[in-house]
Homo-oligomer: A and B are copies of this chain.
Amino acid sequence: MTELNAGRALRAAIGGLLGPGRVLDPPAASYTHDATLARGLRGRLDAVVLPQSADEVTRAVAWCYEHDVPIIPRGGGTGLAGGAVPLDGGVVLGLERLRAVRSFDPLVWRIAVEAGMPTADLRRRARENGLYYPPDPGAAESSQIGGNIATNAGGPHAFKYGVTGAWVTGLEVVLPPGELVTFGGAIRKDAAGYDLKRLVIGSEGTLGVITAAWLRLIPAPEAEFPVVAVYPDVATGAAVVAEILGSGLQPATLEYLDGGALAAAAAGRPFAAPPPAGFTVIVEADGSADEATRLRQELVGVLIGGRPLALHAPTEAAAVADLWRWRERVSPAVTARRGGKLGEDIVVPVDRLAEAITETLEIGARHELETCSWGHAGDGNLHSTFMISPDRPDELARAEHAALELFALATRLGGSISGEHGIGVVKAGHLRNTWSEPATLLHERVRAAFDPKRLMNPGKKRP
Are the CB atoms of B195 and A152 closer together than 8 Å? yes
The number of residues on chain A lying at the interface, defined by a beta carbon within 8 Å of a beta carbon of chain B, is: 92
The yes or no answer to A412 lying at the interface (CB within 8 A) is no
Q: A187-B415, A350-B108, A351-B108 are in contact. Are A447 and B250 (CB under 8 A)?
A: no
The yes or no answer to A380 lying at the interface (CB within 8 A) is yes
Are the CB atoms of A416 and B192 closer together than 8 Å? yes
Residues of chain B contacted by A436 (CB below 8 angstroms): 179, 181-182
Question: In the complex, how many angstroms separate the beta carbon of A382 from the nearest chain B beta carbon?
Answer: 11
Residues of chain B contacted by A189 (CB below 8 angstroms): 154, 158, 163, 347, 376, 379-381, 416, 419-420
Could you tell me the distance between the alpha carbons of A181 and B463 in the complex, rounded to whole angstroms? Answer: 15
Of the candidates A194, A199, A202, A294, the one having the most CB atoms from chain B within 10 angstroms of its own CB is A194
Interface residues of A in 132-191 (CB under 8 A from B): 151-152, 154, 158, 162-163, 165-166, 175, 179, 181-191
Contact with B along A258-274 (1 / 0, CB 8 A): 00000000000000000
Question: In the complex, how many angstroms separate the beta carbon of A353 from the nearest chain B beta carbon?
Answer: 10
The yes or no answer to A77 lying at the interface (CB within 8 A) is no
The yes or no answer to A29 lying at the interface (CB within 8 A) is no
Contact with B along A306-336 (1 / 0, CB 8 A): 0000000000000000000000000000000
Copies in the complex: 2
Residues of chain B contacted by A345 (CB below 8 angstroms): 191
Could you tell me the distance between the alpha carbons of A235 and B168 in the complex, rounded to whole angstroms? Answer: 30
* Selected contact of A416 from candidates B187, B198, B351, CB within 8 Å: B187
Question: In the complex, how many angstroms separate the beta carbon of A424 from the nearest chain B beta carbon?
Answer: 10
* Selected contact of A193 from candidates B250, B291, B463, CB within 8 Å: B463
Question: In the complex, how many angstroms separate the beta carbon of A252 from the nearest chain B beta carbon?
Answer: 12
Question: In the complex, how many angstroms separate the beta carbon of A313 from the nearest chain B beta carbon?
Answer: 19
Shortest Cβ distance from A190 into B: residue: B416
Are the CB atoms of B417 and A192 closer together than 8 Å? yes
Question: In the complex, how many angstroms separate the beta carbon of A314 from the nearest chain B beta carbon?
Answer: 22
Residues of chain B contacted by A439 (CB below 8 angstroms): 181-183, 193, 196
Question: In the complex, how many angstroms separate the beta carbon of A103 from the nearest chain B beta carbon?
Answer: 10
Interface residues of A in 438-463 (CB under 8 A from B): 438-440, 442-443, 445-450, 461, 463
List 6 A-B pairs, Cβ < 8 Å. A181-B436, A194-B447, A195-B201, A195-B202, A196-B446, A446-B449
